[in-house]
Copies of this chain bind each other. A is one copy, B any other.
Amino acid sequence: MESAIPLHLETTRMRHKRVPDDYQPPYPSFVARYKPAVSRVVMAYFGVQYRGAAPSSALEALEDIAGMFASEGGPSHWDRARYVDQAGYDTTVTVAYWDDVARFDAWFAPTREAWTGRSRDGVGTFIEVLRPTVARHETLFSSPDRPEGVAVVAEGMSGEVQEHAYWGGMRDRIPLSQTDAMAPGGAPELIRDGARLRVKAHDNLCLIRSGQDWSDTEASERKLYLDNVEPVLREGMDFLRDDGLAIGCYTNRYMKVLAADGSVSEKSYGQSWWKSLAALERWAESHPTHVRIFGAAMKYLSALGPSAKLRLYHEVTVAAADEQLFEYLNCHPKTGMLAAVVTVTA
């Protein structure tokens, strides 16, 4: 049993973790381990949206960004997912990961110009980037042999970690929680730069990507997931999408991951932006849909243990104000973090 907090990020605690030192979780979980030399990671979401039939510019945009990924300085890993948002816009989000900020910066400038610096016919484009220090970030995996998302750029996976399977584990896995409450500071602001709309969020904004992979499940487990778990998950995701703002969830996307050929895979993830880690904690702990999901997962993983074929993972970041970028071009006014600000003046 090891701590989710890597040894080189352990500090003298000003704040305690929620469980005693002899706490034993009821089932195993694992976290991504970066090389100790990695000080920051980058997660960059590139979105394209349109309504109705796909214009040819949408496919071109997707080909363009894939081409840029393949160029010098491109990401170590990327994946693509798709959903129809609350305004009925077909949205494809391509997310890419780096473990080297300098490399990302050099690569990003021309990509940014190409993505949100010029209009594409009939589509909106957006960029949402975080570049947190590793102390502001945590991951969790139900099995150690298939990394997803940012964990793919890590050196590997931990052994079994202690800080999970209880409310508060998410916070306790973030190294900064040893010394900092990570309280949010300020309110999101809109910045207009011609047609480009930027959102300047605030200190300790929180991002979660929370995924599930049922591709390895066989008949009975697959049926259990699709019939019993997924509908409850969807209900929770819909609540966040439609009614999240009142509880501190600025926006939520519940998406199907696409395979390399563009077809829908048997993986999905929810991506949501939150006012604070505390707001995410309160939702997770008290919203009936998430409580049911958590309870079901606890029961399921405690019973099946390593023989479960359903894979669950998430990554959570609490970003400092200067670790964020939100930029939208020709997007509808409730796209992503635009939902947190007023974009239309009377």
A285: contacting residue among B166, B181, B183, CB under 8 A: B166
Contact of A286 among B285, B292, B298 (CB under 8 A): B298
Q: What 0/1 pattern do residues 266 to 279 of A give for CB contact below 8 A with B?
A: 00000000001010
Inter-chain CA distance A16–B15, complex, in Å, is 6
Question: In the complex, are the beta carbons of A16 and B181 less than 8 A apart?
Answer: yes
Q: Which listed segment binds B: A19-27, A52-60, A64-72?
A: A19-27
A165 to B23, CA, bound (A): 23
The secondary-structure label for the interface of chain A is: loop
With a cutoff of 8 Å between Cβ atoms, the chain B residues found around residue A295 in the complex are: 288, 291-292
User: Does A299 belong to the interface (CB within 8 Å)?
Assistant: yes
CA distance A168 to B19 in the complex (A): 11
Shortest Cβ gap from A193 to chain B (Å): 33
CB under 8 Å from chain B, chain A span 1-37:
15-16, 18-20, 23, 26
In the assembled complex, the CB of A301 is this many whole angstroms from the nearest CB of chain B, namely 12
Interchain CB contact under 8 A, A285 and B167: yes
Does the CB pair B278–A165 fall under 8 Å?
Answer: no
Q: Which one of B19, B26, B276 contacts A278 once the chains associate, using CB atoms below 8 Å?
A: B19
Further pairs besides A16-B181, A167-B168: 9, Cβ < 8 Å: A15-B16, A16-B16, A19-B278, A20-B183, A20-B278, A23-B278, A23-B282, A288-B299, A291-B291
Chain A residues with a Cβ under 8 A of chain B: 15-16, 18-20, 23, 26, 165-168, 181, 183, 276, 278, 282, 285-286, 288, 291-292, 295, 298-299
20 interchain pairs, CB-CB under 8 A: A15-B15, A16-B16, A16-B181, A18-B18, A18-B168, A19-B278, A19-B282, A20-B276, A20-B278, A23-B278, A26-B286, A165-B286, A167-B168, A167-B285, A286-B298, A288-B298, A288-B299, A291-B291, A291-B295, A292-B295
